[in-house]
Structure 1
Amino acid sequence: MTFAAGQVAQAADSDVVAKVGKSTVTEAELKAAEAELGPQFQSLPADKRQLAVLSALIDIKALAAEAEKAKMQNDPAVKAQLEFDRDRALHNAYFAKEGIAKISDDELKARYDEEIKAMPPRKEVHARHILVKTKKEAEDVIKELEGGADFQKVAKEKSTGPSGPSGGDLGFFSQGQMVPAFEKAAFALKPGEFTKEPVQTQFGWHVIQVVETRDAPPPKFEQVKDQLQQLLLREKYMQMVGKARKALGVDYVDPKMKSQVQQLEKQMLGEQPDSGDAAAPATPAATAAPAAKSQ
């Protein structure tokens, strides 16, 4: 093997980059092998990684040639594996071309707008707190505040929490982000109010003040773009598989197996497919669909 990494990288897909007996290794085969074997060589520098994959591919072809000499391709288990590998490669290639490649930013943006419109409003509060060790200390703080003391000033002087130096400011938070007792007290207050009774949590005793409330802003498109893409891919995959199954027809030799598969599909999909619908797409197969590559 005399090819330098740069020479391999510049080869056309049809170019032969190595020969193993009567067999050849083309650039296209090397790219396919790199997709499968590349992660095994992540610790290697980039200029060595492709050569390592090529070396591994040569090993594979060498033993494959020996296996063919031994007629192992006629072994039922090997034949089944070869058929599965072929079908999976075609499955992945078809979905990559007809599914992944056809999802545009415009489609993602339209789905984003649809999802945001359907989101129920979610309340957020902007709060401050003063954290002390004992209930008595918290009661004394409340008396100070009721006497007109400035909340932020008292927080800086007495709060033991990490937010103390910034006047106890916790910023905005929504339900589920704080411990239950703290959250319940904070969401019960109106802007400008503070708790009249100390609030106990595992961190100590709190006096809480709410600065303002608002509806939580929706996530930005770029923040959820990848999630939306996976959602659309799953939907597109299920549509494609369902259409293909219906066109081809699916028959089970064992009626019991048919029932069990349909029950599993129903559970995985969270839906209620018709009992006789053998064309319903199987969710377990969807997990084998090629994932979208980040751009």
Structure 2
Amino acid sequence: MFRHKLLAAAALAAAVSFQAPVYAQEDAVVAKVGAVEIRQADLDVAITNLSAQYQQMPEEQKKIAALSQIIDIKLVAKKAEEAGLQNSDDFKKRMAALQERELHNAYLRDQFDKLKPEEVKARYDKEVAALPKEEEVRARHILVKTEEEAKAIIKQLDEGKDFVELAKEKSEDTSKSEGGDLGYFTKGRMVPEFEEAAFSLAKGAYTKTPVKSQFGFHVIKVEDKRDAQPPAFEQVEPQVRQIVMQEKYSAIIDGAKAEQKVEIVDETLRKGYDELTKSE
């Protein structure tokens, strides 16, 4: 469940992660359009609003692209003002909607900026504590094409040959350079025949008969068995932070709904909204 939440949190980042641009300490004038100044702060905002395509560019090219957009906007905006378009009802409605969106984002930034590191760590600890116990093994294997080759390797192991050295010498798997080491894995990660054999072995034991799979014949040795380890906090901290932010966002919305009545007059829209909010 924790792993699923971490995957979902990746999608959440785009939805509720609102980062304010970092402004230069000295808000220098970088250009002018007529008498209107374009400052570094304007450029910083424009850079954050560039499309994904532009975001891949080197920093200097991003600045130039952002400046070009600002200049184009100011040139055309001046023409629109001269035409009086700012006084139209449509323009006023759009401006009101933009203001509300920016207020929405500003409030969330303010709330998320107050998120304490210990809250994130506590959420991680809660998820880890709720994880079901699951066994994992660390195994090595030697993969060969024929059953006869596998039996010969098992005979050599019985005679005291070193598994790691035999894997480096005989195995046809890409893990041969690592002595056949496959690391730790839980059930469901390997093909059924391999998995059944690996989990049935005791720590330090190897298979006494070849294990056949779609890849060939395996000789398997289990190096260790333990409870599956959760991902380290440092590894998943950004995703856990997003989970906490998602929960805070839901709490903010629920609290606001308790304070303000939401009424959807159109029945079709109401049913759709109800279904959507139930699934969230």
Shorter chain as denominator, the TM-score bin is: 0.7 to 0.9
TM-score (norm 2): 0.78
Q: Structure 1 stretch 62-71 or stretch 39-48: which is displaced more?
A: 39-48
Displacement of 1:148 in angstroms is 5.2
Q: Give the count of matched residue pairs.
A: 258
TM-score (norm 1): 0.75
Partner in structure 2 of residue 199 of structure 1: 211
Partner in structure 2 of residue 291 of structure 1: none
User: Measured at CA, do residues 76 and 178 of structure 1 come closer, stay the same or move farther in structure 2, by a change above 3 Å?
Assistant: farther
Instruction: State how far apart, in whole Å, the 1-side matches of 2:177 and 2:24 are.
Output: 57
CA RMSD of aligned residues (A): 2.9
Cα deviation code 1:106-151 (max 9, x no counterpart): 2112222222222222322121211110123223333444455543
1:142 aligns with 2:157: no
Displacement of 1:25 in angstroms is 3.8
Cα deviation code 1:169-192 (max 9, x no counterpart): 333222333333322221121113
Instruction: State how far apart, in whole Å, the 2-side matches of 1:37 and 1:156 are.
Output: 51
Displacement of 1:36 in angstroms is 0.9
User: Measured at CA, do residues 68 and 126 of structure 1 come closer, stay the same or move farther in structure 2, by a change above 3 Å?
Assistant: same
1:257 aligns with 2:269: yes
Instruction: State how far apart, in whole Å, the 1-side matches of 2:272 and 2:52 are.
Output: 37
User: Measured at CA, do residues 204 and 97 of structure 1 come closer, stay the same or move farther in structure 2, by a change above 3 Å?
Assistant: same
Displacement of 1:74 in angstroms is 5.3
Instruction: State how far apart, in whole Å, the 2-side matches of 1:173 and 1:252 are.
Output: 51
Partner in structure 1 of residue 48 of structure 2: 35
Partner in structure 2 of residue 58 of structure 1: 71
Match of 2:239 among 218, 227, 230: 227
Equivalent residue letter for 1:83 = A
- Gaps in structure 1 of 5+ consecutive residues: 1-7, 270-295
Partner in structure 2 of residue 85 of structure 1: 98
- Gaps in structure 2 of 5+ consecutive residues: 1-22
Instruction: State how far apart, in whole Å, the 1-side matches of 2:88 and 2:136 are.
Output: 64
Equivalent residue letter for 2:72 = D
User: Measured at CA, do residues 34 and 212 of structure 1 come closer, stay the same or move farther in structure 2, by a change above 3 Å?
Assistant: closer
User: Measured at CA, do residues 52 and 129 of structure 1 come closer, stay the same or move farther in structure 2, by a change above 3 Å?
Assistant: closer
User: Measured at CA, do residues 144 and 252 of structure 1 come closer, stay the same or move farther in structure 2, by a change above 3 Å?
Assistant: same
Partner in structure 2 of residue 275 of structure 1: none
**8 Å contact kept, 2:133–2:227:** yes
Instruction: State how far apart, in whole Å, the 1-side matches of 2:230 and 2:60 are.
Output: 44
**8 Å contact kept, 1:126–1:172:** yes
More relative contact order in 1 or in 2 (CA 8 Å, sep 6+)? 2
**8 Å contact kept, 1:125–1:210:** yes
Matches within 5 A, 1:18-29: 18-21=31-34, 23-29=36-42
Instruction: Give the secondary-structure state (helix, strand or coil) at the position aligned to 2:75.
Output: helix
Match of 1:215 among 227, 235, 239: 227
Instruction: State how far apart, in whole Å, the 1-side matches of 2:107 and 2:164 are.
Output: 62
Identity %: 45
